[in-house]
Amino acid sequence: MKFISTRGGEKVTGAQAIVQGLAKNGGLFVPEKFPTVTEEEIRAMEDMSYPERAAFILGKYLADELGGDYLKEVCEKAYSSFEGNDPVPLVKVDGESGLYVLELFHGPTCAFKDMALTVLPYLLKKSCEVTGVKDEILILAATSGDTGKAALEGFRDVEGTKVAVFYPDEGVAKMQRLQMTIQDGDNVFVSAVEGNFDDCQRAVKNMFASEEFNAELAAKGVRLSSANSINFGRLAPQIAYYFSAYVDLINSRQIEMGDKIDFVVPTGNFGDILAGWYAKKMGLPVRKLVCASNKNKVLADFFKDGVYDVKREFHRTMSPSMDILVSSNLERLLFEISGRNSRLTAQRMKALAEKKEYSITEEEKAKLDEEFYGGFASEDDTIEAMYEIFDEFGYAMDTHTGVALWVYLQYKEMCWKKDKKDKTPIIVLSTANPYKFPQDVLYALSGNDVKDSFKGIKRLNLLTAMKPPKCLLDLRYRTPRFKTKVKNDLKQMTDAIMRFVDGEIVPVPVDKK
Ligand SMILES: *Cc1c(COP(=O)(O)O)cnc(C)c1O
C-alpha cells in the first residue's frame, strides 16, 4: 500500500512513511486509499485474541511490506507486556443506558500511548530493513506527559536506536515527570523545555524541519524519526482497539453485527479519535465519534463553528495530556473532508502558522456534523462527572477520562432529547490509570486533598480497593537521572541533542535496586 502527503507531492511505501515520520513538505502521510474490513472479517475477529485482532488490522495497511506473520509475532510480544489477561478490557459501567468504558491503560506506562508505542519499535526496525536504511535511528518526541514515557520505555535499549524526549517544564503532572526522569536504558535522553506543550511541540517540529540539523546528524550516521502521533506507525495500532471493542460487544451479545455504536474520546492531539474515524472509514459501524476537550476547547469550538482559532489563552488543567491548542492530527481529517485537496490543506496549515486561524466551508462543516460531536468539560465539570460515576456505579477513572465522561453525559442527554428510546451503546475510551494522577482523582472522588502523590495512591487504594500498578509504586524509591532543562530555542535544543548523540551527556547511573 502507498501513502501520500496531506500537502501533496510525495508518494511513499508504508515502510518509508514509518521511517520518515513526516513528509518532506511538512505534511502528514495518509493511506492512498482506505482498506476495507468486511462483515465476514469482523465476524472472524470474534474468535481472535487481542494481539491477533491488532495484527489483522495492521496487516490491512502494512502486511504487503512487513509481512503478516511478522505483524502477528510483534503484536504478541508487545501486548504480552500488559497487565492482566486482556490487554484492552471493555467494562460495562451502566447496562441500563448502555455505557461502556474501554480501558486502554494496562500497558507498561499506565496510559493509552502504550497501545501503539509498544508496537512501533518493531514496525520501525522492520521498516528500516525493508527500505535498506542502515543509519542509527534517533526517535525525537515532544510530550504532553504520556507519549514521552511510553516512547522511552518502548525504545529503551532497542538496538540501532536512540530516544530523546522533550517535555514542557510547566506542563506535566508530577508522576509523569518522575516516570520520565528516572528512565533507565543506555540510549535515552530526557530534558525539560521552558514553556507549554504547544511551544515544545513547535520547537520539535522545527528540529525535524531543520536541514542543517538533519545534515549534521546524517554526517554522524544518524537519522531522525518521530514517535508522535504524526507518524502513521503510531496511528495504525490505535485503529485496532475500535474494532476489538465492537467485536467484544458482539461476543457478549450486547449488539448484533451491523448495529451502530458511538465512541467518546478524550482528545488532545486528535490521534486517538482520528484512529476511530479511520476504523469507520474501513467499515466499522460507527454512528458518531464524540470529541471531548478540556478547558483548552479549540476543538469543541471548531466542531461548533467550523473555525479553528488558536488566538486564545492556554490553560493548564488536571488533564495535562490534553492541554493542547494545535492538534496535529486534525490535518489528516481536514485533508479528507476537503475531498483530498492537498493544496487547500497546505493553505490552511499555512494560515494556522501565520494567522493562527483558518475556517472550513459550510459543505465541509455539514460533513463533520454527520460524523462528529464536539464538547468540553471545565475543571469543575470533570470533577463532577468523576464523582457522579464513582458514586453511582463504583467506577473510578482518571482525570482525562473524566473529561470524556462529562461530555458523554451532555451527549447522552442530547440523544435522549431527540429520541427517548435511543439505546445505542456508547463506549468511552479511558486513556490513563487513575493512579497516574492520584491527588486529583482522590480529590474528585472524596474531596480529600493530599500534598503527596504517594499518599494519594494509598488513600485512593483505601477508597476504591483498586490495585495500584507496580510501575507507579516503584517510582517512589527512585532518584531522577535527568536534570537537564533547556530554553525553548532551536539552537539550545539541537545542541543538547548533538551532545547526547556524541555521548557527552552522561545521565546519572541507574539506581542500584
Ligand atoms: C495522549 C493522551 C490523550 C489525548 O490523545 P490524543 O491522541 O493526543 O488526542 C488523552 N488522555 C491521555 C491520558 C493521554 O495520554
Tell me, yes or no, if 297 is annotated catalytic: no
Q: Which of 234, 431, 440 to mutate to test the pocket of ligand 1 (most atoms within 8 A of CB)?
A: 431
Q: 355 C-alpha vs ligand 1 centroid, how far in Å?
A: 26
Ligand 1 atom nearest residue 324's Cα: 8
CA distance 234 to 21: 9
Ligand 1 atom nearest residue 267's Cα: 9
pLDDT at 509: 67
Q: Which domains does the chain have, with CATH numbers?
A: 117-231+477-501 (3.40.50.1100)
CA quadruple 110, 116, 117, 119: dihedral, nearest 10: 120
Nearest protein CA to atom 12 of ligand 1, as residue: 431
pLDDT at 209: 85
Does residue 408 sit in helix, strand or coil? helix
Check pocket membership of 111 for ligand 1, CB cut-off 6 A.
yes
Check pocket membership of 168 for ligand 1, CB cut-off 6 A.
no
CA distance 141 to 269: 13
Q: 309 C-alpha vs ligand 1 centroid, how far in Å?
A: 21
Q: Residue 210: CA atoms inside 13 Å, Cβ hemisphere, count? A: 19
CA quadruple 310, 299, 433, 112: dihedral, nearest 10: -100
pLDDT at 507: 72
Q: Which of 60, 72, 113, 126 is catalytic?
A: 113
Check pocket membership of 321 for ligand 1, CB cut-off 6 A.
yes
pLDDT at 513: 46
CA distance 308 to 352: 8
Provide the grid cell at 171.
Answer: 506542563
Ligand 1 atom nearest residue 113's Cα: 15
pLDDT at 471: 85
pLDDT at 511: 59
Q: 125 C-alpha vs ligand 1 centroid, how far in Å?
A: 25
Q: 462 C-alpha vs ligand 1 centroid, how far in Å?
A: 27
Provide the grid cell at 422.
Answer: 435511543
Check pocket membership of 107 for ligand 1, CB cut-off 6 A.
no
Check pocket membership of 322 for ligand 1, CB cut-off 6 A.
yes
Check pocket membership of 296 for ligand 1, CB cut-off 6 A.
no
Tell me if the pTM is above 0.85: yes
CA distance 445 to 103: 19
Q: 216 C-alpha vs ligand 1 centroid, how far in Å?
A: 33
Provide the grid cell at 252.
Answer: 457478549
Check pocket membership of 400 for ligand 1, CB cut-off 6 A.
yes
**Residue 479: what are its φ and ψ, rounded to 5°?**
-105, 145
Check pocket membership of 431 for ligand 1, CB cut-off 6 A.
yes
Q: Which of 321, 397, 403 to mutate to test the pocket of ligand 1 (most atoms within 8 A of CB)?
A: 321
Q: What is the pLDDT along the chain (513 residues), one digit of tens a residue?
A: 999 999 999 999 999 999 988 898 889 999 999 999 999 999 999 999 999 999 999 999 999 999 999 999 999 999 999 998 999 999 999 999 999 999 999 999 999 999 999 999 999 999 999 999 999 999 999 998 899 999 999 999 999 999 999 999 988 888 999 999 999 999 999 999 998 888 898 899 899 889 999 999 999 999 999 888 889 999 999 999 999 999 999 999 999 999 999 999 999 999 999 999 999 999 999 999 999 999 999 999 999 999 999 999 999 999 999 999 999 999 999 999 999 999 999 999 999 999 999 999 999 999 999 999 999 999 999 999 999 999 999 999 999 999 999 999 999 999 999 999 999 999 999 999 999 999 999 999 999 999 999 999 999 999 999 999 988 998 998 999 998 899 999 999 999 999 999 988 777 766 544
CA quadruple 264, 269, 270, 273: dihedral, nearest 10: -40
Q: Which amino acid, one-letter code, is at 318?
A: M
CA distance 434 to 453: 12
Distance of CA 367 to the CA centre of its chain: 24
Q: Residue 130: CA atoms inside 13 Å, Cβ hemisphere, count? A: 21
